[in-house]
Amino acid sequence: MTQRLAGKVAIITGAGSGIGRAAALLFAREGAMVVLGDKTEAVYATAEAVKAAGGTATGLVGDAGIEADVQQLVAFALAGDAPLAVAFANAGISGGLSNIFDSTPELWSEVLRVNLIGPALMIKHAGRAMADAGRGGSIVCTASVAGIRSGAGGPAYSASKAGVINLVMVSAQQLCETGVRVNAICPGLTETGMTRPVFDYAKDKGVTEKLGRLNPLRRAAQPEELANVALFLASDESSYINGQAIAVDGGLSSSHPVVRQLPGQTAV
């Protein structure tokens, strides 16, 4: 069976855990040479896991919302002979579940910096490099069902992910005729490093069976399920998909049931 990313270089941010780590292992298994970024040294463990599985990986510690760090990732990806063909802007933070009345400007600034400016920087630098090379490519951003409509995250997080959904639309248009595609995945509740407090709380309370029960599949997702969709968008199998945001949420966004919040309350 042909490897879908054979001979290509793929950048993945947020690769220290969760969806990013699952994507690193999967993309490498499909033949990609992966350049991995994360703000923690866990990125090195992911790189070692890829190598142990027979893949090629380099891990770099950096902040996805700092332009110089993104430039470093892209420069490293361009340093070899293989073409940079994929960039998965996956890094993100939750910002907690405080309501809009308790969310500070500092919280908003940090969440938007990482979740929205981060993908914009990746598109700016990786997208330009792909366009200049003239071989096309695929950029995948991690948005969220929280960016589709309310009820799946805190206000800053939700707004940042709505921004990512619009960002991929605008970027797809601005990369017109370059062959570089830009799309997003919109995860529902997934067991990752970012959501670990939710899963740990449920385990402590003995209510893990309630996780994900609002969606029609009645369960949470595993990182590999999101990585599979990211791989599809990264590969030539999705060659006519561009400027789209694909929900991978067990059907949650088909209705988005919510618990209404009153001023002064915190979502639970």
More confident: 38 or 150: 38
Q: Which two tokens stand for residue 15?
A: 């690769």
Report, as an integer, the average pLDDT of 153-166: 96
Give me the pLDDT at residue 12, please.
98
Whole-number average pLDDT of the chain: 90
**Is it the case that residue 264 has pLDDT exceeding 90?**
no
Cβ–Cβ < 8 Å for 12, 43: no
Residue, of 156 and 1, whose pLDDT is higher: 156
Residue 265 lies in a domain: no
Per the CB < 8 A criterion, the answer to whether 25 and 88 are in contact is no
Does the structure show a pLDDT above 80 at 260? no
As for how many domains the chain has, the answer is 1
- Domain assignment present for residue 214? The answer is no
Does residue 28 fall inside a structural domain?
yes
Q: What integer is the mean pLDDT of 162-173?
A: 98
pLDDT digits (tens, 9 = 90+) for 199-235: 554 566 555 555 556 788 888 889 999 999 999 999 9
Least confident of 29-43, 165-179, 205-219: 205-219
- Residue-wise burial string across 227-236, b where 16 or more C-beta atoms lie within 10 A, e elsewhere: bebbbbbbbe
Q: Is the pLDDT of residue 8 over 50?
A: yes
Per-residue pLDDT at 111 exceeds 50: yes
Rounded to an integer, what distance in angstroms lies between the CA atom of residue 253 and that of residue 250?
Answer: 8
Residue 18 lies in a domain: yes
**Structural domain boundaries enclosing 115:** 9-191+222-249
Catalytic residues: 157
> What is the CATH number for 226?
3.40.50.720
> Is the pLDDT score of 34 beyond 80?
yes
Q: Note whether residue 41 is domain-resident.
A: yes
The pLDDT of residue 253 is 86
What tens digit of pLDDT does each residue of 44-97 get?
999 999 999 999 999 999 999 999 999 999 999 999 999 999 999 999 999 988
From residue 75, alpha-carbon distances to 9, 86, 264 in Å are: 12, 14, 46
What is the rounded CA–CA span in Å between residue 251 and residue 239? 25
Is 263 part of a structural domain of the chain? Answer: no
Instruction: Give the mean pLDDT of 117-137.
Output: 98
What average pLDDT does range 164-183 have in this prediction? 98
pLDDT of residue 190: 78
Own/partner contacts of 61-64, CB < 8 Å, gap of 24 or more, are 61/37, 62/37, 62/38, 63/39, 63/114, 64/13, 64/14, 64/37, 64/39, 64/89, 64/91, 64/114, 64/118, 64/121, 64/122
* Residue 267 pLDDT > 50: no
Does residue 52 sit within a domain? yes
**Within a domain: residue 135?**
yes
pLDDT at 268: 41
Residues ≥6 apart with Cβ < 8 Å to 186: 143, 144, 145, 147, 148, 161, 165, 245, 246, 247, 248, 249, 253
pLDDT for residue 193: 61
